[in-house]
A and B are shown apart, each in its own frame.
Chain A
Amino acid sequence: MGSVTTSHDMGLHEEQLAGRTQQMYFSASEEENYTYPWAYEVDYDKSAEFDAADMGISEINLKIRELMKSGHGTITVQNPRAKHSLGVGILNRLNLKFEGSLGYFGCGLIDGPNVHITGRVGWSCAENMMAGTVVIEKNAGSLFGAAIRGGDLVCKGQAGARVGIDQKGGTIIVGDSVGAFTGFMMQRGRMIILGDDRSR
């Protein structure tokens, strides 16, 4: 990394961070940094879909993981019916599509997947996202993209209060208005709001 002195050079610590980060000592050329050691090998052309109408939350999330394990790179979930905590903790390459709306905490703690949601999302969508893209066709609730550190988050409709609260990286784009305390405690990253800031 040239002449930049990093905490590694100074011998403060030796461990290598995984995932993408904005810290200078990150080496983009090392391909192993793009995937977790335990990531599943998936093929985008291998697709699967399932109906989540009568499934529980854990059941749906486990089903997504199973499909990734068996190499499916494109997964479509039908009828999520605004259930909470769907599509969370995915640390993998994946094309994930929800045909419908998600409840609270949808797609939280993700690192890598490209998610498309045709409905709306409730509170705290994509909270703490590290990388990847999340595109929402309709509206979003409050706390949209809370504490995200990377990736692109797009809501084509309006979002509630506290959009990008504690944001530390990445990009949030909202097609319509946002509510009170948008960007509260935001430290880094980009936020593009095409509508009004309703807190003023």
Chain B
Amino acid sequence: MCGIAGLIWKGGVTSDIGSEMTQMLQALKHRGPDSTGFALYGKGEEGVHILRFKVAEQEDMKTGFDIHKQVIERKAAVDTRLEEMGADVTAREDATDYAFRYHFKFGGDLKRLIDFIEDIEGVEILSVGKGLELIKDLGDAALVSEQYGLNGFVGTHAIGHTRMATESDVDIRSAHPYWAYPFNDVSVVHNGQLTNYWTNRRDLERRGHRFMSNCDSELIAVYIADRIDQGEELEAAMTRSIDELDGVFTYLVATGNQLGMAKDVMGAKPMVLYESDEFVGLASEEVAIRSIFPREIDTWDPYQGEVKVWAA
């Protein structure tokens, strides 16, 4: 079933989006308790990339014998490769035993750097961006938020997802949001099923894109990334996706300064929208928006085939 949520403060206003998104996703917990993910957009620093990556699945950490040693080795390999490529790591944080957050400065080809790091077995880059920080793990929103210390995260916009696994496994690899590899700051959350997944995936793979999971939602991230790469604007890419992707879906896309939503032509999946002069909130159910605006507000459901984009 899955629940998705998005919020954006207009006009460059910042807020505690970490707590706001946690509350929204916690209100949607009943739509999917398997995993929770956040894509939070902070202000960032000029010239500094934020790297979020993991070196093991939570499941592996509980069951494997060698995994704890491997985690250390994998992390060391990431450090070595970053240094080899000439990236200047300015800060390192352990979010958990298996997930990390780095700040680095890098002037070279980002895609090559990312490919080189992901070539290490077991290492998956969750996001690279100037403002984007992507966090996903098993459990409900309150748990993940607590684990990764997201309350108090200040930024302009965010998207999030609570997952009920239907098409693929319960693990971090298949959890949303998806980062649109290898583009700075692009992420996607999706509620629905794509029916022409393999046709599109083969097409995108032939053009050199990589897929980390078998989850159909990842396709949307890669698809949007591909369109942006070809010089299309976000809104145009999303409008095209309505025709080119089959199935039932409602998805949200965020970039460094934009938030967009798209709904399939049958309008099969829910989305409730609240828009005021300073704020836009979207969620699968109104309860999520109400968790941060308890007062009476005017909301509506966007229609089938609609695409909307807002700027921070």
A residues at B contact (CB < 8 Å): 53, 79, 81-84, 100-101, 103-104, 119-120, 122-123, 138-139, 141-142, 157-158, 160-162, 177, 179-181, 198-199
Residues of B in contact, count (CB < 8 Å)? 19
Interface string of B233-254 (1 = CB under 8 A from A): 0000000000000000000000
Majority secondary structure, B binding face: loop
Residues from chain A with a CB closer than 8 A to the CB of B294 are 53, 79, 81
Once the chains bind, are A142 and B299 in contact (CB under 8 Å)? no
Q: Closest CB-CB distance, B274 to chain A, in whole Å?
A: 10
| Chain B residue with the shortest CB-CB distance to A177 | B303
Residues from chain A with a CB closer than 8 A to the CB of B139 are none
Residues from chain A with a CB closer than 8 A to the CB of B300 are 120, 139, 157-158
Bound-state CA distance A181–B268 (Å) is 10
Bound-state CA distance A161–B268 (Å) is 8
Once the chains bind, are B303 and A101 in contact (CB under 8 Å)? no
Assuming the contacts A122-B272, A161-B266, A181-B266, asked whether A139 and B290 have C-beta atoms less than 8 A apart, the reply is no
Bound-state CA distance A128–B287 (Å) is 23
Once the chains bind, are B301 and A142 in contact (CB under 8 Å)? yes
List 12 extra interface pairs beyond A82-B286, A180-B265, A180-B267, CB under 8 A: A84-B285, A103-B285, A120-B286, A141-B272, A142-B270, A161-B267, A161-B301, A179-B267, A179-B304, A180-B303, A181-B267, A198-B303
Bound-state CA distance A123–B270 (Å) is 8
16 of the cross-chain contacts (CB-CB < 8 Å) are A53-B294, A81-B287, A100-B296, A101-B286, A101-B290, A101-B296, A103-B287, A119-B296, A120-B299, A122-B286, A141-B272, A142-B301, A161-B304, A177-B303, A180-B303, A199-B304
In the assembled complex, B45 has its CB within 8 A of some CB on chain A = no
Residues from chain B with a CB closer than 8 A to the CB of A199 are 304
Assuming the contacts A179-B304, A180-B303, A181-B266, asked whether A138 and B286 have C-beta atoms less than 8 A apart, the reply is no
In the assembled complex, B298 has its CB within 8 A of some CB on chain A = yes
Once the chains bind, are B301 and A141 in contact (CB under 8 Å)? yes
Bound-state CA distance A84–B290 (Å) is 12
| Chain B residue with the shortest CB-CB distance to A101 | B286
Residues from chain B with a CB closer than 8 A to the CB of A119 are 296
Bound-state CA distance A136–B279 (Å) is 25
Residues from chain A with a CB closer than 8 A to the CB of B272 are 122, 141
Q: Closest CB-CB distance, B23 to chain A, in whole Å?
A: 13
Once the chains bind, are A141 and B270 in contact (CB under 8 Å)? yes
| Chain B residue with the shortest CB-CB distance to A83 | B287
Partner of A103, one of B266, B286, B296, B303: B286
